[in-house]
Amino acid sequence: MYSIIRDELIKTSDVIVVKVGTNVITCSNGHLNDLRIERLTADIVSMFRKNNRVILVTSGAVGAGMGSLNLAKRPVEIAELQAVAAIGQGKLIETYERFMSQHNVTTAQVLLTADDFDDRKRYLNVRNTILALLNFGALPIINENDTVSVSRLHATFGDNDRLASLVANLFEMPLLILLTDVDGLYDRDPVDPQARLIPIVEQWTPDLMKMVAEKRSKLSKGGMSSKLKAAKIITESGGNVIIANGDQPETLRMIFDSCEVGTLFITQDNHVSARKRWLGFAVRSEGRIVIDDGAVKAVQKNGKSLLPIGIVAVDGMFDRGGLVSLVDRSGNEIARGLTNYNKQDIAKIQGKKTSEIRQILGQSLYTEAVHRDNMQLVD
């Protein structure tokens, strides 16, 4: 029933990003599963030959390091995590390269941190580098640089599902394939005999998150909730997502053959510019501006800028030009944008008319606190 839709998505996507979870490519003891990686590699190469724009985002560095060191539990101390990731990363990329070389495919290792997506110039450099690799006919293999980023926990992606969504969001019409150890999204806990796999999600609703039954392991730090968040990011900005079971040896090949496996999340038909995709989904917020109901309607429904009179409260520390979240009185984020004033000035002019800005601040550089052109809705 949905095979025609899947076939069209594969044909029209400008890039296919395949994300492989730790549990998919490792054994229960943490060692890499060479047979599984060999099969995945063969399927990826098959699509790479047809599309030539395939990117692999892989977890597994810490898990592979644990296997090499015969560790039974994931380390907690940052220095130990860094060391284990450093050991595992080399083993992980070597394994992929070994199997890719059997198909005469050149691979390129790309290690990223959250900071690479926060800074606009670095964000564009990441995109340009990946595009150049694809143009050279190389297959990018991307992972979070745990050896560096875990030293500042707030700068990590939290899991590679978000990393995969940020990589996919570098492109206008991506197809993101998230391979995990469950068949897809169920309408309830999969252990329930009455649970039913949802084959397609055409419209995002808050009820989707209520269906999540988390399953975490000692090797990985992601879960179904992180995959749904990744799906939300992509479908809101023009892409499509498939969540499927990477434990099944034929899953990726079946997806590439447009078979109905896993759960397909359809784009919301939004065309979002590259700059606004960066504003809305890549860069991290430096603070929050709470706005009243009238401002929520003006921003969310009428496409207006945020004026000072609609601001109720402000928190965080940010300078002029900083990225801030616009939230309603209940704390729900509705948009993100670059502020025209720093935190101190916003606090002074909140709730005031634009005609009062000059008298309060001594000058009136802008009538808007956040201009519509520098804003992206996120819900």
**Angle at CA of residue 274, ends 155 and 124, nearest 5°:** 55
Whether residue 80 is predicted with pLDDT greater than 90 in this model: the reply is: no
Q: Which residues contact 75 (CB under 8 A, 6 or more apart)?
A: 62, 66, 81, 84
Ranges of H-type helices in the chain: 3-12, 22-25, 34-51, 61-69, 78-101, 115-118, 120-135, 146-149, 160-168, 207-210, 224-235, 251-256, 274-277, 293-300, 343-349, 357-361
- 32, 95 Cβ separation under 8 angstroms: yes
- Taking only the tens place, the pLDDT of each residue in 62-74 is 888 888 898 888 8
d(CA 42, CA 24): 15
d(CA 188, CA 314): 38
Q: Which residues pair with 144 in a beta bridge?
A: 112
Mean pLDDT over 13-40 rounds to 88
Mean pLDDT over 116-129 rounds to 84
The pLDDT of residue 172 is 82
The band of 212, judged by pLDDT with boundaries at 50, 70 and 90, is: low
CA 312 from centroid of its chain's CA atoms: 31
What residue segments make up the domains of the chain, in order of their start? 3-276, 285-377
The band of 247, judged by pLDDT with boundaries at 50, 70 and 90, is: confident
Structural fold of domain 3-276: Carbamate kinase (3.40.1160)
Inter-CA distances, 217 with 23, 192, 327, Å? 8, 20, 34
d(CA 327, CA 286): 13
The pLDDT of residue 306 is 95
Q: Which residues pair with 50 in a beta bridge?
A: none
The pLDDT of residue 191 is 79
The larger pLDDT score, comparing residue 228 to residue 17, is at: 17
d(CA 217, CA 354): 53
The band of 182, judged by pLDDT with boundaries at 50, 70 and 90, is: confident
Average pLDDT, the chain: 84
- Taking only the tens place, the pLDDT of each residue in 272-312 is 666 666 676 667 788 999 999 999 999 988 989 999 999 99
Number of residues written out for the chain: 379
Lowest mean pLDDT among 18-32, 97-111, 239-253: 18-32
Q: What is the pTM of this model?
A: 0.75
Write out the DSSP string of 82-103: HHHHHHHHHHHHHHHHHHHHTT
- The CATH number assigned to the domain with range 285-377 reads 2.30.130.10
Question: What single letter denotes the amino acid at residue 355?
Answer: S
